[in-house]
Structure 1
Amino acid sequence: MSRRFLIVPGYGNSGPTHWQSLWEATKPGNWSRIKVEDWDHAVCDEWVAAIDNEVRALGPDVIVVAHSLGCLAVAHWAARHARAIRGALLVAVPDPSAPAFPRAFTVGFSAVPSSRLPFPSIVVASSDDPYGSIGHAQSCANIWGSEFVDVGAHGHINAASQLEDWAEGYQLLQRLDTSALAQRTDSR
């Protein structure tokens, strides 16, 4: 893959042992990461602007790779800007009403956007994610028009899940890339 990828981490950013960081460091392609002022005090408007700036710079052939709060930021960005991109892998969508959600340190991420995403997407969920139930993730996938993948019990699908470079997730990314290309070719 020599594609362009945009990483949209979750609250606190993704540390060096998170699969997003490992992909950025080791997988082929042009990888970028959004830049925000303060990863520990997340403001939705700031994250949406950061996504939009990066997408405009990278162009429509980019695939967004989002985790946790980053998934909600991508959904808000899509609802506001509706820019065409190649696709999005949305991993561990959090539920703002879940007890573990860091609501004291986030602004503007609720309510979850309820419009179909204007690009191909896959929502990936874990059956024991403390930040969002499998039912919540399935509901988001249905609303957003996303493919839904349940990867079993992997917690929040983050560094604590000990997935290392998460080969299963990277295969999903490759599948998304291939299916997005097929959809573009079919629509010509």
Structure 2
Amino acid sequence: MTAQPNYLVLPGYLGSGPEHWQTRWEAADPAFRRVEQADWDRPRLSDWLDALDEAVAAEPGPVVLVGHSLGCVLTAHWAAARPASAVAGAFLVAPADIERAGVPELENFCPVPLQRLPFPSIVVASTDDPWCTPQRARLFADAWGARLEFTGAHGHLNSDSGLGDWPFGRKLLAELPVS
């Protein structure tokens, strides 16, 4: 019998506020724990990788990464550079196309790694995300070996999208085959 995973929540650039689905999932379920970063406004890849390393190492059982936006890119960098044996899967929502974003604070995360992730994953994307076109979302999902799900036109799948507790996202997460 496989142990129930713990979920490490990986917000993106500027973090996830109180109305974001990630924050709501954390508040509703103790299996979800946010990986806190020292600086959400000026992210440094090396610092974010170190924080993720520490969080994964601190978990007693299997871990599923739940990334949003830059958190998806962090997951790709981490999987490319770190052993991923403790990670059972990744749920990656609204990956940010930082190579085309024109945000200087994000340039140290470029380029976006395009290596296959060593664990099962689902990429969830919106058809009108201002941070990532459907074509780029498909490119990321294909490169990462992830199942791709489009939600329709819901922007960046964040607080501004009005998703609330986002039950559709929880349904998709439950479909993730954890290894």
Instruction: Provide the TM-score with structure 1 as the length reference.
Output: 0.89
Do the aligned partners of residues 138 and 60 (structure 1) sit closer, same or farther apart at CA in structure 2, a change above 3 Å counting?
farther
Which residue number in structure 1 is paired with residue 21 of structure 2? 19
CA apart distance, 1:121 = 0.3
CA distance in 2, matches of 1:157, 1:6: 18
CA apart distance, 1:97 = 3.1
Question: What secondary structure does 2:8 align onto?
Answer: strand
How big is the alpha-carbon RMSD for the aligned residues of Structure 1 and Structure 2?
A: 1.5
> Which stretches of structure 1, 4 residues or longer, exceed 4 Å deviation after superposition?
none
State whether structure 2 residue 166 is matched by structure 1 residue 166.
yes
CA contact (8 A) 2:76 2:117 kept: yes
- Residue identity matched to 1:24: E
CA apart distance, 1:123 = 0.5
CA contact (8 A) 2:5 2:61 kept: no
Q: Indicate the structure with greater helix content.
A: 1
State whether structure 2 residue 141 is matched by structure 1 residue 132.
no
Unaligned runs of 5+ in 2: none
CA contact (8 A) 1:43 1:107 kept: no
State whether structure 2 residue 47 is matched by structure 1 residue 43.
no
Deviations along 1:15-45, whole A, 9 cap, x unmatched? 0100000000013x42211121110001111
Which residue number in structure 2 is paired with residue 95 of structure 1? 97
Question: What secondary structure does 2:52 align onto?
Answer: helix
CA contact (8 A) 2:24 2:165 kept: yes
CA contact (8 A) 1:2 1:30 kept: no
State how 1:1-188 maps to structure 2 within 5 Å.
3-27=5-29, 29-59=30-60, 61-84=62-85, 85-98=87-100, 101=101, 103-176=103-176, 179-180=177-178, 184=179
CA distance in 2, matches of 1:2, 1:54: 17
CA distance in 1, matches of 2:61, 2:140: 23
CA distance in 1, matches of 2:126, 2:83: 28
- Percent identity reads 43
CA contact (8 A) 1:60 1:86 kept: no
CA contact (8 A) 1:91 1:125 kept: yes
CA apart distance, 1:157 = 0.2
CA distance in 1, matches of 2:5, 2:61: 11
CA apart distance, 1:103 = 2.0
Unaligned runs of 5+ in 1: none
Do the aligned partners of residues 164 and 124 (structure 1) sit closer, same or farther apart at CA in structure 2, a change above 3 Å counting?
same
Question: What secondary structure does 1:35 align onto?
Answer: coil
Do the aligned partners of residues 55 and 102 (structure 1) sit closer, same or farther apart at CA in structure 2, a change above 3 Å counting?
farther
Question: What secondary structure does 1:108 align onto?
Answer: helix
CA distance in 2, matches of 1:20, 1:33: 9
CA contact (8 A) 1:127 1:155 kept: yes
